Chain A
Amino acid sequence: MNRNSQMNPDAVLSVQDVSKTFTLHLQGAQRLPVVDGLTFDVPRGACVVLGGESGSGKSSVMKMVYGSYGVDSGRILLAQDHGVLDLAAAQPRQVLAARRATMGYVSQFLRAVPRVAAIDVVAEPLVELGESREAAAERAGELLARLSIPERLWQLPPATFSGGERQRVNIARGFVRERALLLLDEPTASLDARNREVVIGLIRESLARGVGILAIFHDADVREAVADATVDVQRFAPAALVGAGA
């Protein structure tokens, strides 16, 4: 918990003056800047969309918030039950605790753990919370059904599913447990119109319950349906640094 962190009480996430540059040591220490001075808030009950062209660093920003990428400077403040945490400076176990309690994440690709049945993949966040496997599985089943995953697939590991099916399992897992902040990275990329509608419905329900959402949407219609604000990541692109070993 950082004493100097100042955060808007209505925001669940506050990104403040974040900068990041990749250094590719294997390519002669070439530096690849991503963002500089990135600043935005995600208020409770609002959906903030990261905009910008492909390659502008939207996914990277998402990963920085989640903790999969480090940041070079700046603060990423998360409002938790017991106080504000600066994810950029936090210890690994604090980030892990924040992910369990406060941050949900639907990544672009489902990392399928071998041998675990789809229904258990989805139920896991609830089981982690202490719920019984039966109750968790029931809730998981409801979501899978809503996302049109046929019941005959529930006991199979998602490694064998189609891309769209895996994505829907991913989405179910992201929504099965309500957390204060939800990160969505292209959740509808491989979905048909019907399932896109289902996802829009899930998003709206969460927003109505006060969840703050940070999202990247490929589809314009989904964006239009749920976005409350857009952050153009390209506005925060640093002046490009050229050359090796700078």
Chain B
Amino acid sequence: MNDEQPLLSVAGAGHSYGDAFGCRDVSFDLWPGEVLAIVGESGSGKSTLLGMLSQRLSIDEGTVRYRRSSAADTAELVDLSLLSEREVRGLWRTEWGYVHQNAMDGLRMQVSAGGNIGEPLMANGWRHYGRIREQAEQWLARVEIPADRIDDAPITFSGGMRQRLQIARNLVFGPRLVFMDEPTSGLDVSVQARLLDLIRSLVADLGLAVVIVTHDLAVARLISHRTLVMKDGAVIESGLTDRVLDDPQAAYTQLLVSSILQD
């Protein structure tokens, strides 16, 4: 794998809702193993940006290019808007993961935990029940869900456990890039801490690249290497996470940082 070329390259990208732009002129590169946090308040455009990067929203301006694993030797980045629907869906099964804010959006609530984790494998052609189940067992252990819950449906799980199941489902097929949309919001504080800790260690163990949207600067500080700060659809500051949070340059960033409740 050529490490000189980024995994994801975004140049002047923007998405419009009619006449107004949800996010505009966003540029950054992401390398394997990097965690990038996109922080901002409601209406900042961070969710629009995530939607656009993950191909759920159209790229109306600029380009988003991605280096597919099939291009390992040439290290060529492909413009995502040029890919067919089949190719994009293929990426979602093999290289990309997406962790939704609400676990219900990212899981089949009536299918057992094992079935949820096994589905991406079955979608990729796995046809051996025993091996599929074994993978599911391993991943449940990895996300600290008790093994005896493998046949239970997530409708019986707590919020934190559902999120951990969603993470397992998204990592089982070995993606290189994972998008996360406020994965810890709505969870109890101790549950959040546990989940973030899990994400940290998985990212480190698996060398994942992650783009995580959050409104919580503490989350950004804990798990990201780099941070983009968004306001009104534009990126107003970016850099190393600890630099952005310890030495904010833009007025809005200083406001955000000073608004963190101190203990």
Q: Looking at the complex, which one of A24, A92, A115 makes contact with B193 (CB distance below 8 Å)?
A: A115
Question: Complex Cα distance A63/B247, Å?
Answer: 10
Residues of B within 8 A of A26 (CB): 251, 254-255, 258
Task: Give Cα A95–Cα B247 distance, bound, in whole angstroms.
Answer: 16
**In the complex, A93 has a CB within 8 A of chain B:** yes
- Does B242 belong to the interface (CB within 8 Å)? yes
Tally of chain A residues near chain B (CB < 8 A): 19
For window 166-195 of B, CB contacts with A under 8 Å fall at 193-194
Is there an interface contact between B204 and A128, defined as CB atoms closer than 8 Å?
A: yes
Q: Is the CB of B226 within 8 A of A70?
A: no
Whether B246 and A92, one on each chain, are in contact in the complex, defined by CB atoms closer than 8 angstroms, is: no
Partner of B251, one of A25, A95, A114: A25
Tally of chain B residues near chain A (CB < 8 A): 23
- Residues 180-218 of chain B, each 1 if its beta carbon lies under 8 Å from chain A, else 0: 000000000000011011001000100000000000000
Contact A96 B240 (CB under 8 A): yes
Q: Mark A57-77, 1 if CB is under 8 A from B, else 0.
A: 000000100011110000000
**Cβ of A113 under 8 Å from chain B:** yes
Closest to A111 in B: B221
Q: Scoring A residues 102 to 132 as 1 if CB is less than 8 Å from chain B, else 0, what string do you get?
A: 0000000000011110000000000010000
User: Are the C-beta atoms of A25 and B34 separated by less than 8 Å?
Assistant: no
Measured CA separation A68–B242 after assembly (Å) = 5
Is the CB–CB distance between B246 and A114 below 8 Å? no
Nearest A residue (CB) for B258: A26
**Chain B residues closer than 8 Å to A115, beta-carbon distance:** 193-194, 197
Task: Return the contact of A68 from the options B247, B249, B251, B254 (Cβ within 8 A).
Answer: B247
Choose among B197, B243, B250 the residue with the greatest number of A CB atoms under 10 Å from its CB: B243
Query: Are A116 and B226 in touch, CB under 8 angstroms?
Result: no
Assess whether B222 is in contact with A67, with CB atoms less than 8 Å apart.
no
CB pair B197 A70 closer than 8 Å: no
Whole-angstrom distance between the Cβ of A27 and the nearest chain B Cβ: 9
Selected contact of B254 from candidates A25, A63, A95, CB within 8 Å: A25
Q: How far is the CA of A115 from the CA of B193 in the complex (A)?
A: 8
| B226-A69 in contact (CB<8A) | no
Residue interface bits A78-107, CB-to-B below 8 A is 1, else 0: 000000000000001101100000000000
- Say yes or no: B251 contacts A67, CB within 8 Å: no
Within the complex, the shortest CB–CB distance from B227 to chain A, in Å, comes to: 9
Name the residue among A25, A92, A114 with the largest chain B CB count within 10 angstroms: A92
Q: How far is the CB of B164 from chain A (nearest CB, A)?
A: 14
Using Cβ atoms and an 8 Å threshold, which residues of chain A touch B258? 26
Residue of A nearest to B249 (CB): A70
Interface contact A95-B246, CB-CB below 8 Å: no
What CA separation (Å) do A23 and B193 show in the bound complex? 33
Query: A68-B247, A92-B226, A93-B31 in contact; A114/B240 too (CB < 8 A)?
Result: no
B246 touches A68 (CB 8 A): yes
Let me know if A63 and B246 touch, CB within 8 A: yes
Question: Which B206-263 residues have C-beta < 8 A from chain A?
Answer: 222, 225-226, 239-240, 242-243, 246-247, 249-251, 254-255, 258
Question: Which residue in chain A gives the minimum CB-CB distance to B196?
Answer: A114
Q: With a CB–CB cut-off of 8 A, which chain A residues contact B31?
A: 93
Please tell me if the beta carbons of B222 and A70 are within 8 angstroms of each other in the complex: no
Which residue of chain B is the closest to A20 with respect to CB atoms? B247
Indicate if the CB atoms of B243 and A67 lie closer than 8 Å: yes
Known: A68-B246, A114-B197, A116-B197. A95 touches B240 (CB 8 A): yes
A-B residue pairs, 3 tightest by C-beta: A25-B251, A114-B193, A69-B247
7 contacts between A and B (CB under 8 A): A26-B254, A63-B247, A67-B243, A69-B243, A70-B239, A93-B31, A113-B200
- B-side residues, CB < 8 A to A, are 31, 34, 193-194, 196-197, 200, 204, 222, 225-226, 239-240, 242-243, 246-247, 249-251, 254-255, 258
13 other contacts beyond A25-B250, A69-B247, A93-B34, with CB at 8 A cut-off?
A25-B254, A63-B247, A68-B240, A68-B243, A68-B246, A68-B247, A70-B239, A92-B225, A92-B239, A93-B31, A93-B225, A93-B226, A115-B194
